[in-house]
Amino acid sequence: MHTRRDFVKTGLGAVMGAMTGGGLAHAGLGMRAIPGLPPGCDTGSLPLAGTRPLISAPLSTKPLVYGGFNFAPWFTGDAFPDGNIPFHSAQNVFPPGRFPRATEHVEVAVIGGGISGLSAAYLLRRFNPVVFELRDRFGGSAQGEHWDGSPYSLGGAYVITPDPGTNLHTLYHNINLHQQVRVDNDDLTVELNGEVLADFMKGAGFPPEDLPGLEAYLQVLNQMANVSYPDVPFDQPWMQALDLKTFKNDIEQQMGVPVPPLLASAIQAYCYSSFGAGWEEISAASGWNFLAAEVFGRWVFPGGNAYMADRLWEELSLLDAKTPPGCTPKHIRGGCRAVDVRMAPSGRVHVTYRDRNGRGRALEAERVVMACSKHIAKHMLHNIEHLDPAKLAAMDIEYRAYVVVNVLLDQEIPPEFYDIFLLRDGQFPHDVGEAREYFYSTDVLDGSFTPSHLPPAPGPRNVLTFYWPLSYPQGRFEIILHDPFERFAEAFAAQLRDEVLPLLGMPESAVREIRLTRWGHAMPLAEPGFIASGKPQELLRPFEGKVYFVNQDNWALPAVENCVIDAHNVADEIATDL
C-alpha cells in the first residue's frame, strides 16, 4: 500500500419527495437494465462546459459594500436554498409506484466529483465510468476561479511534495501538474504584533528564555518527520497508541519542557487552518501526519488544488468527446444528485439520481464508488441499518466548517511569501469555547504565488486568499443560519483594513473586490481514538461487496494524499474484480 509518507514524503432540500418523470414509472427492481442512453440521448446532466472546476469569474456588476470594500453579493461554495442543510435526512423515500427504473447499464459509477471521485474515475477511466456531481461544477472543495488571468483557490491550497516513483508522483506527471508547480520550502512565516517574521522557527519574536523550548520542539519535529512518522494505514501498535493521545499532550510529553506560549499559538493556528480544530482536540497521530509532512515542502499550483481537479476533469471529459451534438454528457454528469444506492436482483448496483431538472432517473452499475462524505453516504445506502450496522455506526463522524476569502487586487503584493499565519498579539484560543469567540481568519496566502498558466491581463492582477476556520461544532450551522453574510463581511473588512493591508504595505484602493466562499463539511474531525477504534477499516470495507468508498473522511484526515491513496487502492480492487 502506498502511503501519505510514501507520497511525501448545495443546494439540496431536506426530503426528496416524489420522483416523477416520463418513462420512469416503477417496473420492479428485477427488470433488467436497458443498455445505452435514454431516448433523445439526454442523461439529465448539465452541458460539459459549465461543469469544470476552475472557471473565469468577472467582477460583480452589483457588489455590496461593507467597511468601504466591494464584496461579491453572496457566498460561493456550499449553497443551501431555503435554509435547508443537505442530507440531514434520507432523500430516498419514494412514493408508491414512483421508484425509477434503470435505463442504463455501466461498469462503474462514481458518486461525488471532488478530488476523491475525480481521482478514482481517472484511475478507472478504461471502464468508462459515469461520475455524478450534485453541484453544477466539479471539484468539491477544490474549486477555483480566475480573474483576468489570475487564478485562485476557493478551497484547498496545496499538496505535499511527492517522492519520485510513487503513485502520487506518477499521477501528477501523467496529468502534467509538474509543469505548473511552484515548490514552497520556506519555514513557518507568521505575523506577530503587525510584523512579518519569516525566520520564526529560528527564534524570531521569542523571548530569550523560550529559545530552549523552541529547540526542544524542533528536535521532536525532526524525529517525527524522519524516524517515527505515523502514516496511513496506521497499522503499527505505536501509531495506534499515539492516536489515543491528543496532539497537545504528545507534544508536551515528547518535549519534556514547557511549550513556549508563542509556539503554542503558532501550532494552534496551524491546526485550526489544517484541521478546523485545535491541538487539544485532534489525535497526535493525525497531527504529526500533517505537521511533520510539511518539513518536505509543498507543491503549489495556479489556483491551488482547483488546478489539480481541473486537470482530472479535462482528462475525464475526453470520455465525452464523441458525444453527438444535442446530447448531454454521459460520463461527466454535473448537476446530478445521486440519492439512492441499493443492490438489484440482477446482481448489479442500482443507483437512483435526480437530474438537473429534478427528475428521477436510474442506472445499474457493476461497481459503485461512493466518493462523497459519510454524512451523505449513510442516507443513500438503502437499508444499511439492517445490512451493515457496523458500517453505519462508523459513519458517525463530526465535521467542521470554514470560510475562504479571496481579495482581488490590482496592485503587486509587496512581500515575498506564500503563507503567513496571523498570530496578532500572540494569544490564541485554548478550547472550542474560546475558538467560537475568535472570529478571525488564521492565515493569508499569496494566491498568485504560482505564475498563472493563463494569458496575462493588462496591468497587475493579484489575489490574497484567507482561510477562516470555524473550529467549533456549531460552525456548520452558523454559516447558513440568520443571514450570516453580513456578519462575515463586516468582520473581515475590519481585519483587512486595520491589520492585513497595513502589514503588507498596501492601500485600500488596491482592493477591487472581496469574495466569500463557505464549506459546511469539508473538515472531518481527526479526533483521538478514531484510527485506533478500527473505524477506518469499517469505512473502507465495501458495502455488499460492490460499493466502495473513497474520501478523506475514511481516515478523518482532510488531505488530498489520503483521497488518492484510497482511490488507487479501490481502483486496483475494482480492476481485479472486473
The reply to whether 373 falls in a domain is yes
The reply to whether 76 falls in a domain is no
Burial 530-554 (b: 16+ CB within 10 A, else e): bbbeebbebbbebbbebbbbbbbbb
How far is Cα 182 from Cα 508, in angstroms, rounded to an integer? Answer: 29
Q: Determine the structural domain holding residue 533 and report its residue range.
A: 30-52+89-143+304-396+529-577
- Cα→Cα distances 257→220, 347, 417, 454, Å: 12, 60, 32, 50
Pseudo-torsion of CA 388, 390, 394, 396, nearest 10°? 70
Q: What is the 3-state secondary structure (H, E, C) of 209-223?
A: HHHHHHHHHHHHHHH
How far is Cα 412 from Cα 431, in angstroms, rounded to an integer? Answer: 38
The reply to whether 322 falls in a domain is yes
CATH code of 570's domain: 3.50.50.60
Grid coordinates representing 8?
511525501
The reply to whether 408 falls in a domain is no
Grid coordinates representing 95?
412514493
pLDDT in tens, the chain (578 residues): 444 444 343 222 222 333 333 222 333 332 233 344 445 588 999 999 999 999 999 999 999 999 999 999 999 999 766 656 655 555 666 766 677 899 999 999 999 999 999 999 999 999 999 999 999 999 999 999 999 999 999 999 999 999 888 888 999 999 999 999 999 998 899 999 999 999 999 999 999 999 999 999 999 999 999 999 999 899 999 999 999 999 999 999 999 999 999 999 999 999 999 999 999 999 999 999 999 999 889 999 999 999 999 999 999 999 999 888 888 999 999 999 999 999 999 999 999 999 999 899 999 999 999 999 999 999 999 999 999 999 999 999 999 999 999 999 999 998 889 999 999 999 999 999 999 999 999 999 999 899 888 887 788 999 999 999 999 999 988 998 888 999 999 999 999 999 999 999 999 999 999 999 999 888 999 999 999 999 999 999 999 999 999 999 999 999 999 999 899 999 999 999 99
Report phi then psi at 63, rounded to 5: -70, 160
The reply to whether 341 falls in a domain is yes
Contact between 88 and 17 under an 8 Å Cβ cutoff? The reply is no
What is the number of domains present in the chain?
1
- State yes or no: cis peptide before 63, omega within 30 of 0: no
The reply to whether 543 falls in a domain is yes
Identity of the amino acid at 313 = W
Helices 284-291 and 211-226: crossing angle, nearest 10°? 90
Contact between 133 and 51 under an 8 Å Cβ cutoff? The reply is yes
The reply to whether 5 falls in a domain is no
For Cα atoms 288, 120, 555, give the angle at the middle one, nearest 5 degrees.
Answer: 25
- Kind of pairing between the strands at 182-184 and 298-300: antiparallel
* Ranges assigned E (strand) in 372-430: 399-409, 419-422
The reply to whether 62 falls in a domain is no
